[in-house]
Amino acid sequence: MNSDTSYGESTARGTSGKGSSTSSTDKKKEKARVSRTSMILWHAHQNDIGAVRKLLEEDESLVHARDYDNRTPLHVASLHGWIDVAKCLLEHGADVNAQDRWKNTPLADAEGAKKHTMIELLKSYGGLSYGQSGSHFEPKPVLPPLPNKCDWEIDPSELDFSSSNIIGKGSFGEILKASWRGTPVAVKRILPSLSDDKLVIQDFRHEVKVLVKLRHPNVVQFLGAVTDKKPLMLITEYLRGGDLHQHLKEKGSLSASTAINFALDIARGMAYLHNEPNVIIHRDLKPRNVLLVNTSAEHLKVGDFGLSKLIKVQHCHDVYKMTGETGSYRYMAPEVFKHRKYDKKVDVFSFAMILYEMLEGDPPFSNYEPYEAAKYAAAGHRPPFRSKSYTPELRDLTEKCWAADMNQRPSFLDILKRLEKI
């Protein structure tokens, strides 16, 4: 995997398949292609028409680029309503009916996001609307959802727990691996004893409300929920690689290149979550809540939004701040520990602690208990740099991310730019 990739990592199509006999020239070409594939997806996401056009002039085949969720630049532009970018892609031969991992077309995305001008544009190019609720390629039509039920409500009889195993536990209940319509899934199941607890139900519904809005290659994908029968359940994609905490426990410190690639994935997911006007503050970013897509440990996704907050920002200069001690002590920002007002920069502080742990192999302040570690950090202390993997650039980035003054911490978009340069 390349350290300079951005947005969703490409699937690196077009490798020669010659194994060790592949020449260094072929490898360089492939690396450049993977980088360009990621770049066009990123620039489509950023509505940078100039950069998209320039990349297509250099390599027109990039119009068919795919991230590892099989989404094309046209999917990305359609979801956000970037008309000029979409027109440019279509003029260069983009497949208007390309299907992503969930079998959604660009038009299905535009309709879901209510981007009316984009809907008309795609239809004028022959765009069809099909996706999760049914496909033109299926031999039999899919029945519409039952009236008065949202399209993500799952019938618990469709969940197969016959070969399930517990993959996580919490005060609310447990997380199990199960099967839904033949697909492995992760199921967060609320304990029956808590099914009437108003606070638990409120938190559960809040997490569903947050997750249903999310769609990004570096964010765990929500599939559905059981909300009108007990036990209450939340269903997401199952990621075979486990969590980053366990990975670091087994592997120890990571190489600088691996840590940077992991950090890029986390920063991409967080940049998406922090995007205004609908800002989602995670508030519990830590290695246990960052999941590896597969056992080859190439990609990460941010998960567990039980403590997150969805903030509507009406104007770009609005101040949205909260108080209260929320999250995990070892990765907690000083302003949270001190019960002072805070905003989305608390996630940047936690990110710095995770980056430190990936490079050092040990959690920050590992010789302290979690509460004492948070107290020590709130007093102005920071863990010492020992690893040789900490280049001056990485050290400087980490120090800025865990700055005591949250206003001095960079945004995740700025972090992405710096990581890509490194």
Cα–Cα distance, 33 to 5 (Å, whole number): 10
Based on the residue annotation, tell me whether 343 is a catalytic residue of this protein: no
Catalytic residue among 284, 304, 343, 347: 284
Q: Confirm or deny that 188 is annotated as ligand binding.
A: yes
Quick one: tokens of 309? Answer: 């907050």
Q: Which residues are annotated as a binding site for ATP?
A: 188
**Which residues does the annotation mark as catalytic?**
284
Q: Which residues are annotated as a binding site?
A: 188
